[in-house]
Every structure is written in C-alpha cells, then in structure tokens.
C-alpha cells in the first residue's frame, strides 16, 4: 500500500577532526543538505509507474494521432490506474508542435491536434491521473524563431537567445550564455507546472552537451532544477553521463542508463551489445548492463535509474516477460508501459503483480552482488532490503543455457547461521517454506525468480543502502557482514538507510564500524531526529567495533543518514546498523 504521509527524517552524520564528545545538544553546525531540501521526486528512491506514447510513434515513425492518444488514456484508466499507474505522457516526434502562445511556448503535442496540453491535462486529471510531458526546455521552435517572439520577463526576443547550432531543421537550441536564456528555460518549466504537470522528460541531452560543452550543459540543468524545485520530476534522457553521471546526479531525478527500447525484445532487455560499454551516450546498449553498471547511484536521495520503456508484447516467452518486469522492480526503475490497447494482447496481468509493485511503492532499489557486467553469475544476482528488514532477492539467467542461481543467507545477507527464514515467491504468490543458510534454483534460459525473505530482524546492511557523495561498496574485509561494507573516504560521503519501527519510542542504535584514522583526529557521529540530537565520538578503531547510542524513532519509516565530514582519503567504514 502507498504511504500518504512523508516519513520522519533522521540524520546520522559522522564528522572527522572532532574532539571526544559525550551526548550533548545539537551544536548548530550546519549540514550540507537536509532531507527536506531533496526534491520530492528523489525522496522515494524508485521511479513512477505510467504509460507513454512511444510504441506507436516508433513503429510508424510519426506522431501519435489524437484519437489514439485518447483511447490509450481511457484504456490505462480502466486497466492500470488501480495498480498505481497514475500518469500518462506523450513522447517524441515533437517537431510538428509549432502552435505557440505569446511567449513562444508550444501549446499542443502536434499542431494537427484539436486540443492542447491544458485540455488533456484536465481530461487526465478528471480521471484521477496526472499528465507527464516530453519536451526539452532548451528547444526553440522554428516558428518561435521566425516570429521573433518576446522572452517572458525580459526585453529580449527568441532570436536573441538562439544558439549557433540547431537540433534539427524544426527545433533550435537555446544558448545559455545569451541574455534571456535563463528566463526562457525556467519559464518553460513553470509554464508546464502551471498546467499541473509534475513530470518532464527532457531528451537529447547528449546533443546539447556535445555541441555546447559541459559548462553550458551544467548551467542549463541547474536552471531547470531551480525552476522545477521539489514539485516536478526531471527525467534526463540520452545523457552522456561523463564521470559516472556526476553532472546529472546534481540536478536530475531520473536518468537513462542504457539505449532506447526501439523494437524491444530480448535484445533490448539483455542481449544488445552485451558486455560492451562506451564512454559517452549510450554507454550501454541493453538495459541489464546499464542497471548493473549504474547500480551504485540508485536509491533514495540518489538517482532513479531509468531502463526506458517496456513493450511486453515484443518478448517471445512468458519467462522473458517476467524477467523484464522483475528487472525493473528489482532496480527501482520506472515501469513505463509502452504497449497499447490494441497491441498488448493477453499480457496486461504482467504489469499487475501487486507483490512486485509493492517494492516500487516502498522505494526499493536493489543492487547486484557484483557491479561488473562481465561477471555473469554475480551481476545476475540482485539483493536489497525493505524498511522492515526483509530481504528481496532477484535471481536472473541471461544465458542461453540452464543456470543455477542462489543466495547464501549467512555470507551474503549477514543473517544468522542455521536460522529458519520464511521464503516467498513473488510471482507464484506462494510461501515456499522455511530455509536455512541458502536458497538456490535452476533457471531455464531467460528465466528469473524473485523471492522475499522474512527475517524478523532489524539489522540493516550498509552496502545495499543508498550510497551518496562518494561512499563506495567494498568487499575486501573477510570479517565484514554480508557482501561487504561501505567505505566513506570522501568528505560528506553518506549512507542512507530506511528503517521501519512499529512504535514511537527510544531505540538502541548499534553501528558496526571501523575507523582507521590514526592521525590523531577522531570522527564524531551526530544523530538528529527532528529537533533532537546527540553527538558521540567513535574514536579510532582498526578492527570492527559496535558503537551504541539511544535515539527516538517515530512509528513508520524513518530515514537514517550516516555522513562523514573531514579529510579526504581517510578510511571510515560502516558495515551495518541494528535497531533494538
């Protein structure tokens, strides 16, 4: 079920270069970011569920007709809205949108349509859904250029802000260094927001960066983020993701991690150019490789990894179709239906698995055992924890032969040896019984298994949490619990863990850590919940050590940050936390 109220925030911040402290009031040292500062679209950790008009446009290489658009909206309302698919969006083939308002902003998806965005936004809202929009606010139409329309809020005109390189013959790029460009870009975003649009899909970003450079690209994204603030999700499409998405991470909410769906099928899911990467867009040609390689940037307060659209009707077998949906659910990706009312056949049920969809509802974003796309066995095993401590495991077979996949409860999940844990299959909707130590299964080619392990434990492994600002998963410590630990060598590096508790009260928090700073400075941990805070000094410990403190948690989901401040290059390692 969806939660209607925002979770309570907790911060745990680890400071380097602090003196030994006892529990004390908050000392007013300002943190670099608070959870309230994070755009609402990034807080959840997983992407939206929606329908998009891609399939018709791609197959026919032309804009979707308005009547077909309406039929698909009604079909989504009747068949998918009840399962949390609460948004519909246009897609590309946008060059025919040349009907403008007085400020040069497009008013329709296509000039041949009878109705404009405002009409369709209301039509969709009246059905209890939202309208997303595909458009890049860096675009300026040929009509806007020729009519030389005023830029709202300035004394400049559309020609004044047009750059020297165009996107194509119908759409020009805005040069962000020209006066009036900021007002144009931010005005476009606010124009859509005023219609009630809270999802903007911004395409062909690599084209702008390649033609105008990183500095201008960074400026453009910053302006978009400012205008979108916390109420609009910015979906960044076709980004180069240089330096592992460093620029995009600062400003976006969703980021494409692989090439387009195109004709769909197994090639799009797993096969296309498998095991190969490029330094620029598209770095990966199939969704699975992209999810593996960008696994470390996903999760709450990070980036939603976008595996593009799903055309379930193009996959050949039921196993392949389950594989595709399972991959999206395990990675925290959006689940974007591109099938249509007349192409989906009998496959709608695959989008309606409420046990898988509940992962998306709770912000689940798993991680592979290995981030190496050429480590076939380990990058095909995905794990993650729910806020209540349960483990969700995705076992995938990308190969053309039968494969055995499994998980070691003790070595890889950090669970107690010989404990009895209930395992549930999320496709069979069936309890498989109690398992001790391991679970394994033989998988046919292109088959997967998604299971949920009930642990009744409040131990949370740091390496599968959100790794922020340079925190890195490492696996070179034999005594670390689970598949590894998090090393926080960088100033302000952070781990974010979501924790559910049943009752509002004071709990004992235990952090298993290793502080290898022998330079004479110590690290300080600050724990903040609303207006409450305590500070503790964990000290230097070359071996794993449990640090204990008491903290108040509200009933429901609490967000716990562990942040290290201080000199770069000093190891500070976090293995897991426990709530007692």
Residues with catalytic annotation? 203, 253
At residue 103, the 3 state secondary structure works out as: coil
Q: Which two tokens stand for residue 95?
A: 């060059």
Backbone angles phi, psi at 88, to 5 degrees: -130, 150
Residue 216 backbone phi and psi in degrees, to 5: -70, -35
Which helix H or strand E contains 457, and what residues bound it? none
Contact 497, 471 (CB under 8 A): no
In this structure, is the dihedral angle defined by the CA atoms of residues 276, 277, 283 and 288, taken in order, positive or negative? positive
Our CA angle for 63, 191, 97, nearest 5°, is 20
**Contact between 310 and 338 (Cβ < 8 Å):** yes
The owner of tokens 């095909």 is 380
Q: Residue 47: how many CA atoms within 13 Å on its side-chain side? A: 33
Parallel, antiparallel or unpaired: strands 8-18 and 199-202 = unpaired
DSSP H helices, 181-279, are 181-194, 205-212, 214-228, 242-251, 265-266
Query: Distance of CA 275 to CAs 99, 193, 288, 370, 380, Å?
Result: 44, 40, 10, 14, 13
Q: From CA 459, how far away is CA 442, in angstroms rounded?
A: 29
Burial bucket for residue 573 (CB in 10 Å: 0-12, 13-18, 19+): buried
d(CA 414, CA 430): 25
Distance CA 53, CA 339 (A): 8
d(CA 198, CA 185): 16
Q: Are 527 and 549 spatial neighbours (Cβ–Cβ below 8 Å)? A: yes
**Cα-Cα end-to-end distance for the chain:** 26
Three-class secondary structure of residue 271 per DSSP: helix
How far is CA 214 from its chain centroid? 23
Helix 318-331, helix 354-361: angle, nearest 10: 20
CB atoms within 10 A of CB 424: 18
CA dist., res. 159 & res. 145, Å (int): 6
The residues, any chain, with a CB within 8 Å of residue 119's CB and separated by 6 or more, are none
Task: Dihedral sign for Cα 300, 298, 407, 508, please.
Answer: negative
- Cβ atoms of 143 and 100 closer than 8 Å: yes
Residues 295 and 473: their CA atoms lie apart, in Å, by 11
- How many residues are listed for the chain in this entry? 580
Residue with tokens 């979501």, as numbered in its chain: 498
């Amino acid at each position: 079920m969806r939660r209607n109220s925002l979770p309570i925030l907790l911060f745990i911040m680890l400071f380097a270069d602090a003196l030994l402290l006892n529990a004390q009031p908050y000392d007013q040292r300002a943190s670099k970011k608070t959870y309230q500062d994070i755009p609402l679209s990034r807080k959840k950790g997983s992407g939206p569920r929606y329908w998009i008009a891609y399939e018709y446009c791609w197959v026919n290489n032309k804009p979707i007709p308005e009547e077909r658009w309406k039929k698909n909206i009604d079909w989504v309302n009747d068949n998918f809205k009840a399962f949390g698919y609460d948004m519909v969006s246009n897609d590309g083939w946008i060059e025919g949108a040349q009907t403008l308002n007085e400020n040069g902003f497009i008013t329709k998806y296509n000039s041949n349509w009878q109705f404009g965005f405002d009409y369709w936004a209301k039509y969709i809202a009246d059905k209890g859904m939202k309208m997303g929009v595909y458009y890049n606010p860096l675009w300026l139409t040929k009509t806007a250029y020729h009519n030389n329309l005023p830029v709202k809020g300035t004394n400049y005109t559309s020609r004044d802000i047009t750059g020297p390189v165009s996107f194509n013959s119908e759409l020009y790029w805005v040069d962000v260094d020209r006066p009036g460009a900021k007002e144009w870009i931010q005005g476009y975003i606010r124009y859509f927001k005023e219609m009630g649009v809270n999802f903007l899909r911004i395409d062909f970003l690599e084209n702008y960066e390649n033609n105008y450079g990183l500095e201008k690209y960074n400026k453009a994204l910053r302006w978009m983020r400012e205008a979108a603030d916390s109420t609009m999700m910015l979906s960044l499409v076709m980004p180069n993701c240089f330096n592992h998405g460093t620029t995009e991470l600062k400003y976006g909410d969703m980021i494409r991690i692989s090439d387009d769906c195109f004709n769909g099928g197994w090639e799009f899911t797993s096969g296309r150019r498998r095991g190969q990467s490029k330094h620029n867009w598209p770095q990966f040609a199939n969704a699975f490789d992209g999810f593996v390689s960008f696994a470390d940037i996903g999760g709450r307060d990070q980036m939603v990894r976008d595996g593009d659209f799903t055309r379930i009707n193009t996959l050949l077998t039921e196993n392949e179709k389950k594989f595709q949906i399972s991959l999206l659910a395990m990675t925290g990706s959006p689940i974007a239906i591109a099938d249509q009312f007349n192409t989906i056949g009998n496959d709608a049920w695959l989008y309606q698995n409420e046990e898988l969809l509940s992962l998306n509802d709770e912000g689940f974003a798993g991680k592979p055992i290995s981030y190496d796309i050429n480590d076939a066995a380990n990058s095909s095993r995905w794990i993650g924890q729910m806020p209540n401590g349960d483990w969700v495991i995705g076992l995938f077979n990308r190969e053309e032969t039968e494969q055995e996949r499994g998980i070691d409860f003790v070595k890889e999940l950090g669970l107690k040896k010989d404990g009895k844990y209930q395992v549930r299959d999320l496709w069979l909707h069936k309890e498989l019984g109690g398992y001790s130590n391991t679970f394994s299964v033989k998988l046919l080619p292109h088959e997967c298994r998604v299971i949920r392990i009930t642990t009744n434990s409040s131990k949370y492994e740091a390496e599968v949490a959100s790794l922020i600002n340079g925190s890195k998963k490492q696996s070179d410590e034999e005594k670390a619990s689970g598949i590894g630990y998090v090393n926080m060598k960088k100033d302000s590096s952070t781990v974010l863990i979501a924790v559910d508790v049943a009752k509002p009260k004071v709990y004992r928090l235990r952090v298993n850590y290793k502080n290898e700073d022998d330079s004479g400075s110590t690290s300080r941990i600050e724990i903040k919940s609303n207006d409450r805070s305590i500070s503790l000094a964990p000290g230097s410990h070359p071996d794993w050590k449990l640090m204990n403190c008491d903290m108040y948690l509200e009933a429901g989901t609490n967000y716990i940050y562990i942040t290290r401040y201080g000199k770069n290059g000093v190891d500070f390692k976090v293995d897991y936390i426990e709530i007692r």
